[in-house]
Amino acid sequence: MKKLQVKPGDKVDLRKFDPDDTSLAPGDKEETTAKSGKLCVKLADLQELLFAEHKHKLLIVLQGMDTSGKDGTVRHVMQGVSPQSVRAVSYKKPTQPELEHDFLWRIHAQVPAIGEIVIFNRSHYEDVLVVRVHGLVPEKIWRKRYGQINDFEKMLSETGTTILKFFLHISKDEQRERLQARIDDPTKRWKFQHGDIDERKLWDDYQKAYADALEKTSTDWAPWTIVPADKKWYRNYVVAKTVVDTLEGFGMEYPQPELGVKKIV
């Protein structure tokens, strides 16, 4: 999956990344979905091992345009894990107390403890995306945040947190279809907000903001992965495979039991 990573220092033009690409799939939709299911089972076992060994921390950041599948990714990839040591954090509009602190204050409070996996559904990157596109703070402020984010993530990395950042990349046409599906399906209609249409009008501004964020904050300690997300089954596979490969790379082992445990009946 390293083919999908943004290398530090690379220029990013999202027009050169095909949101409909499935070239790394192990087979067709049916085969890849089956493989994803097996990866999710493996992920559940690895998550239990992570908690038991109690040495590592994993932070997963999900970003993307509206309807890119952040909720769906969490639901499908994390379907078998135990809530004992996995948390999903969704960031909404900052509250007044949060606005009265620095923009990373509310983020730092939610990062994983030892033995935990934490998934950010949106994240601190909203402060160089929404804030930028809507002009909520001056440019001289949000431009400084790229470096502040890199320093923050480096500190997390140096204190034992492994960071995986996924940009779920969808096309404008796919977003239109998904928004229409929300309107047409009574069970999904609750997700639709009229503000989604206003945000869609700013598509080009968001694409530029995302490209700059990916370019300026993909680092050796916290690289970005651009996930082609028009095909939900492929999106789920890429994220699951990356997470499983990362956890397996920790080389974890279950702790040794207390002395004399074998004699207990």
Token reading at 1:
């999956």
What is the distance between the alpha carbons of residues 81 and 17, in angstroms, rounded to a whole number?
Answer: 31
Please state the pTM of the whole predicted model: 0.94
- Give the DSSP per-residue string, 173-193: HHHHHHHHHHHH-TTTGGG--
Burial class (CB in 10 A: 0-12, 13-18, 19+), 233: middle
- Helices 232-249 and 29-53 cross at an angle (nearest 10°) of 30
Instruction: List, for residues 11-38, the tens digit of each pLDDT value.
Output: 999 999 999 999 999 999 999 999 999 9
At 177, list the tokens: 């279809």
Question: What's the confidence (pLDDT) of residue 262?
Answer: 67
Whole-number pLDDT of residue 191? 82
260 band by pLDDT with thresholds 50, 70 and 90 = low
Q: Where are the alpha helices (DSSP H) in the chain?
A: 29-53, 70-77, 96-99, 105-108, 130-133, 139-158, 172-184, 195-200, 203-217, 232-249
- How many alpha carbons lie under 13 Å from residue 106 in its C-beta half-sphere? 21
Q: Which domains does the chain have, with CATH numbers?
A: 2-250 (3.40.50.300)
- pLDDT tens figures, 37-94: 999 999 999 999 999 999 999 999 999 999 999 999 999 999 989 888 999 999 988 9
Burial per residue of 3-12, b for 16 or more beta-carbon CB atoms within 10 angstroms, e otherwise: ebebebeeeb
Span 166-191, mean pLDDT?
92
What's the pLDDT tens digit per position in 147-158? 999 999 999 999
In this predicted structure, the answer to whether residue 161 has a pLDDT above a threshold of 90 is: yes
Work out the number of other CB atoms within 10 angstroms of the CB of residue 243. Answer: 25
Bridge partners, residue 88, by sequence: 119
pLDDT at 194: 78
Q: Is it the case that residue 174 has pLDDT exceeding 70?
A: yes
The pLDDT value given to residue 163 = 98
Q: What is the pLDDT of residues 114-137, one digit of tens each?
A: 999 999 999 999 999 999 999 999
- The reported pLDDT for the residue numbered 195 is 81
